[in-house]
Amino acid sequence: MFGVVPKSIWNKTNPADENNLCTWAMRCLLIEDDGRLILIDNGLGNKQDARFFSHYYLHGDDSLAKSLHTAGFSEDDVTDMFLTHLHFDHCGGGVYYQQDVLALTFRNATYWSNEDHWKWATHPNPREKASFLKENILPIKESGHLSFINPGEKSPFDCFDIVYVSGHTDKMMIPRISVNGKVICYMADLLPSVGHIPLAYVMGYDTRPLITLEEKEKFLNEAADRQYILFFEHDPVNECCTLKRTEKGVRLDRVFPLSEVVA
Ligand SMILES: [Zn+2]
- Start-to-end Cα distance in the chain: 32
> What's the 109 CA to ligand 1 centre distance in angstroms?
22
Q: The pTM is what? A: 0.96
> What's the 1 CA to ligand 1 centre distance in angstroms?
11
- CB atoms within 5 A of ion ligand 1 belong to 87, 189
Q: What is the pLDDT of residue 263?
A: 72
> What's the 247 CA to ligand 1 centre distance in angstroms?
30
Percent helix, strand and coil across the chain, each to the nearest 5: 30, 25, 45
In the predicted model, is pLDDT for residue 238 greater than 80?
yes
Q: Extract the runs of DSSP E, i.e. beta strands, from the chain.
A: 29-33, 36-40, 80-82, 95-98, 101-104, 110-113, 146-148, 160-165, 172-179, 182-186, 229-231, 240-246, 249-256
> What's the 85 CA to ligand 1 centre distance in angstroms?
7
Q: What is the pLDDT of residue 54?
A: 83
Q: For residues 187 and 230, give the distance between their C-alpha atoms in angstroms, rounded to a whole number.
A: 6
Q: What mean pLDDT comes out for the span 17-29? A: 93
> What's the 97 CA to ligand 1 centre distance in angstroms?
23
The mean pLDDT value of the chain amounts to 95
> What's the 146 CA to ligand 1 centre distance in angstroms?
20
Band (pLDDT 50/70/90 cuts) for residue 39 is very high
65-107 pLDDT, tens digit per residue, is 999 999 999 999 999 999 999 999 999 999 999 999 999 999 9
Is 116 in contact with 129 (CB distance < 8 Å)?
no
> What's the 190 CA to ligand 1 centre distance in angstroms?
9
Q: Report the share of the chain in percent with pLDDT over 70.
A: 100
Band (pLDDT 50/70/90 cuts) for residue 183 is very high
> What's the 57 CA to ligand 1 centre distance in angstroms?
17
